[in-house]
Amino acid sequence: MPTITTLSRAAIAIFWLAALVLPAQAQTRGGTNTEIASEQLTDGWKVAPIPAGVFGVNAADREWVDRQCTPQSLACFQQPVELTGQLAQIRRIDYVFASGWGGGHSPFIPFYEKARTRGWHTHELACGHDVMIDEPAALTSLLVAAIHA
């Protein structure tokens, strides 16, 4: 049985549960020119949490998920991610696409397609964006399988 440390390392090295950023790219969480409306800000720099329903979290868990969320710094939406170019060093990369939300218009479809084009091990789960909430057993199985691959 893998240890928590092993699972943590595997999760960091193997799974991208959100957007895909490739080397020589910089991307902000909301895109390259993210604008946050002033009414979404608290104290001029904190962005209110996005409700779980927006991400298609199952109805039974939405209230609980919303209580866990906290404001985020405006900077996390505006500062680009800069990668080191070490992506090729990773032995195996798995990408999980949560296809059960967004009415077929998920903003993550292009990232899923990029992952497939790059030959990564891709998986599609028909659930909301918070895979670990909606499909914990399926996600655990994917993590464990990737560790042993």
pLDDT at 5: 47
Tracing tokens 């800069």 back to the chain, one arrives at: 82
pLDDT of residue 23: 52
Query: Which of 72, 54, 52 lies closest to 63 in space, CA to CA?
Result: 52
Low-confidence ranges of the chain (pLDDT < 70): 1-34, 81
Provide the residue range defining the domain that includes 45. 4-148
CA 26 – CA 93 distance, rounded (Å)? 20
Residue-wise pLDDT tens digits, 121-140 = 999 999 998 999 999 999 99
Determine the pLDDT at residue 28.
46
Residue 24, domain CATH: 3.40.50.1820
**3-state secondary structure labels for all residues of the chain:** CCCHHHHHHHHHHHEECCCCCCCCCEECCCCCCCCCCHHHEECCCEECCCCHHHHCCCCCCHHHHHHHCCCEECHHHHCCEECCCHHHHCCCCEEEEECCCHHHCCCCHHHHHHHHHCCCEEEEECCCCCHHHHCHHHHHHHHHHHHHC
| Residue 137, pLDDT score | 95
Q: How many domains would you assign to the chain? A: 1
pLDDT of amino acid 21: 54
